[in-house]
Amino acid sequence: MAGDARKDGINTMLAHLGNDPHAFHGFVNPPVVRASTVLFPDAGTMASRNQKYTYGTRGTPTTDALASAMDALEGSAGTIIVPSGLAAVCVPFLAFLSAGDHALIVDSVYYPTRHFANGMLKRLGVEVEYYAPEIGADIARQMKPNTKVVFTEAPGSNTFEMQDIPAIADAAHAGGAVVMMDNTWATPLFFRPLDHGVDVSIQAATKYPAGHSDVLLGTASASKACWERLHEAFVTLGVCVGADDAYQVLRGLRTMGVRLERHQESALAIARWLEERPEVAEVLHPALESHPGHEIWKRDFSGSSGIFSIVLKGGSQREAHAFLDALRIFGLGYSWGGFESLALHVSLGDRTIAKGPDAGPIIRLQIGLEDVDDLKNDIERGLRAAATV
């Protein structure tokens, strides 16, 4: 099924991909194979390694089931499964960059990605440069003869700027660079990066694929041209995952479609409601007509997920903290994509170009699976608290 065009509806696919029950005595779910050592039938086979599984770091039936499922969703030639979303960013960087290379990274990138680039990549001799998320085809002007990677993320972390991925990919490829994309927000259900020119599609599967705030895992899915090099780096680095974590994410995939529908519906309802609130200066959600990147989102994406930000009108950190401390249902936490709603005060101190809105403090909201009216009441509680500081 890997790489096939979608022939069934997405929820039908999610219910069945990654497993062949008849290969495992008819059981609906694949086995959880916990393994390090794999035995060979004879010395000749061991010497040639001419069998499917040779050692736990190189895959098991459980990790292969998840990788196969991701390939079907992404349309990719192969997928690596790693212990976190950040690892899913770091391994592709290490696979395609060497000392003396130049990497272009969108300035609205996930902060741990920036931390890795500014620390580890620079220390290894890679030249790192950031670009404005709205740059589009003009990224060609920032390309250099040694530009080997262009890293994208759409929408951007915390401030949700959209990127013209096809235009960026065309320009990057013309300059000989590999294009990577952190697609955690949309997942391949709402945007398939490889269909738009991206070479390596990255997800923090901790978020929507797992969906229950109880496992850390990342995936990176590559085109045919890039798969061998990505896989070689993965094997060399030894960043494999345990069978139980892989199984948890595979189980989460079964309901990801219906969960995302609910996240999308609830988040849009709350975002539209917040646009009318006098305490809110701006709602940063690309599916809203008021968003500067809405037309790109509408052209390329088939849906939106459950995370967006709001800009409180006026105020400072004091008002932001008052808002957060008054919340009863929203938890204060860094992750998202789970069943529960979360909120945090956004810091943009790492930005160099995409400075973001300045009308007031920015609050990021992850809209979970709770009832919308209850979440609205909770947000109102926070807005009242912020207004009385």
Q: Are 223 and 192 in contact (CB under 8 A)?
A: no
Q: Specify the pLDDT at position 264.
A: 98
pLDDT tens per residue across span 291-344 = 999 999 999 999 999 999 999 998 899 999 999 999 999 999 999 999 999 999
Q: Specify the pLDDT at position 262.
A: 98
Which one, of 335, 337, 334, 361, lies nearest residue 349 by Cα? Answer: 361
Sign of torsion over alpha carbons 352, 356, 359, 361: negative
Cα 270 to Cα 283: distance, rounded to the nearest angstrom: 10
Q: Specify the pLDDT at position 2.
A: 40
Q: Specify the pLDDT at position 8.
A: 85
Please report which helix (H) or strand (E) contains residue 219, including its range: strand 218-222
Q: Specify the pLDDT at position 6.
A: 56
Which positions of the chain have pLDDT values less than 70?
1-6
Q: Are 323 and 363 in contact (CB under 8 A)?
A: yes
Cα 210 to Cα 91: distance, rounded to the nearest angstrom: 20
Peptide bond into 155 cis (omega under 30): yes
Q: What is the DSSP letter of 4?
A: P
Cα 322 to Cα 304: distance, rounded to the nearest angstrom: 29
Mean pLDDT computed over every residue of the chain: 95
pLDDT tens per residue across span 15-40 = 988 888 888 888 888 889 999 999 99
SS in 3 state form for 335-383? CCCCCCCEEEECCCCCCCCCCCCCCCCEEEEECCCCCHHHHHHHHHHHH
SS in 3 state form for 32-78? CCCCCECCCCCHHHHHHCCCCCCEHHHCCHHHHHHHHHHHHHHCCCE
Q: Domains of the chain, with CATH numbers?
A: 10-252 (3.40.640.10), 256-387 (3.90.1150.10)
